[in-house]
Structure 1
Amino acid sequence: MGLNLEEQKAVDRFRKDIVEPSMTSLVVLDFWAEWCGPCKALTPVLEKVCADYADRGVLLAKINVDEDQFIAAQFQVRSIPTVYAMYQGQPVADLTSARTESQLKSMLDQLLEQLPIAAGGEAAPDVSQFIAMGEEILADGDGDRAAGIFSQVVEMAPQEPAAHAGLIRALTLAGRADEARAAAEGLDETLAAAPPVKAALAALELTGDKVDEGELQALRAAAAERPADMDAQMAFADAAFAAGDREAAGDTLLAMIRADREWNDGAARARLVRMFEAVGLEDPWAVATRRKLSTVLFG
């Protein structure tokens, strides 16, 4: 490669200290110098956050630009502190703008959502085929079997949002709402905020407590007999959606919005939007009902 002895030593150190750990972990690489005041201010922030995120596979590595000028030159470091996130030997993000604990955590959270890094810094296994299998079984209506598959996927890849979302949805479908709630309560903030998990939580909220057929018919009759009773309409819409009758739920809520869109601070519209989230915005029923809602609101 045409490197002199010192440059080769620097490359070897870089490979051992940064590249190799980055194959399974996210390495926060800090370029600094003894004379750099801002570097000294940033150091405790980096050390604290990386320690907090250690169990999620984040490591801190530091390069003194005076001692490792060759490596700094390869990264074209022109000012310090300069901070990069490294994964599998490549810089995946420039973290230099993150000077506070909250800013750095926010950027790391975004990266960890996108990278296949499991807790403890191990490379997350490819579980896509198992998730697809669970989704297929879920689509066939076998919630118990799907829950068994998703439970195993969660053990294999505990930071995979789709696995947790599938487990919550499967338990909900199987009528095991208490177990679904327990699974949801154990999630950290990052997983709970992931879109597939949010959709699963919406489904749990709306369909977790199903009524029996007799109660459903009683609610249907009450809604028909008292069309101006918004509470009766809402109760029937909730029960119909939980029972799988999306059309009845949607039509009831749309009628409520036509009658009084401001009732209970727009509760009917909010409930309909929540149902869209639960089934997925691309679901055919959600697409058709959203068009009807637009007509009601703006037509």
Structure 2
Amino acid sequence: MRGVVDLGALAAKPQPASAPAAGATAGDGTGGADSADRAGQTASSLVYDTSDATFDADVIERSLTVPVVIDFWAEWCGPCKQLSPVLERLAAEYGGRFVLAKLDVDANPMLAQEFGVQSIPMVLAVVGGRLVPLFQGAQPEAQVRRLLDELLRLAAENGVTGTATGEAPAEVPEPPMDPALAAAYAALEENDLDGAAQAFRNVLAADPGDTEAKLALAQVELMLSTRDVDADQVRADAEAKPEDAGAQIAAAELDLATGNVEPAIERLVGYVARSAGADRDAARVKLLSFFELLGPDDPRTAAGRQALTRVLF
């Protein structure tokens, strides 16, 4: 995790003043803001979404010239819906003396875990690459203003006095895809499962460590394994044979291949809970392979692992 400091520690470690980057102007480092003078600056130009893929550019690099406040939120969070509009309005009112990066914890669980997010809303700041905890939970606007003014004062003491121009941070371009990998995805888009599987195997033959191709091949092989099955018969067998490992695994694979992820996980978790011995282990191993297919960033992986742990122990 990136270094965590509190406001006092940041104040105790002043950094040499740095020149504002292109598109930024020097600020005076004092508290408050004149909203009338900044009426032309809109909140949307100073507020943007960030993610695990763009966090370094959106937050760390940008914090070298202007303080970046991070709003950790989620769609289901009621207090977030009260706090976020306040932060967005203040970002406009303060006229670019800080920018607001919004991070959806459900869409970016690994990043939320890295920053130790246990409850939301949670607000942190980054100044000159240093993490500055601000507050957790919805706060009165007066308290938010006081903390922002203190943040800006400490930022000025540490040489971070730039003002954002209102331009959104540039998107990080994706690197060009390996032509062989692109050919595999093209076959997949054309529903040529056999061709896609062979193309992914070709990629892995050239680079056995290509994790993207390895994962994609596993997904294609799952689709191939369920392509010609009688779905109604598979589900009927699973219903008629609740204690049969093969029937339950086959139904779970069918669910996963057709996009019914939660039912697939629930089926195998339930089977693990009521079975024993080799059958239980077969279902557990299959479930772990599902988690690998979904990837660690999928919230359903974390939820499924927790459910599996509960029935195992």
TM-score band (shorter)?
0.3 to 0.5
Q: Going by fraction, where is helix more abundant, 1 or 2? A: 1
Q: Relative contact order, CA 8 A, sep 6+: which one is greater?
A: 2
What TM-score results when the alignment is normalised by the length of structure 2?
0.40
What TM-score results when the alignment is normalised by the length of structure 1?
0.41
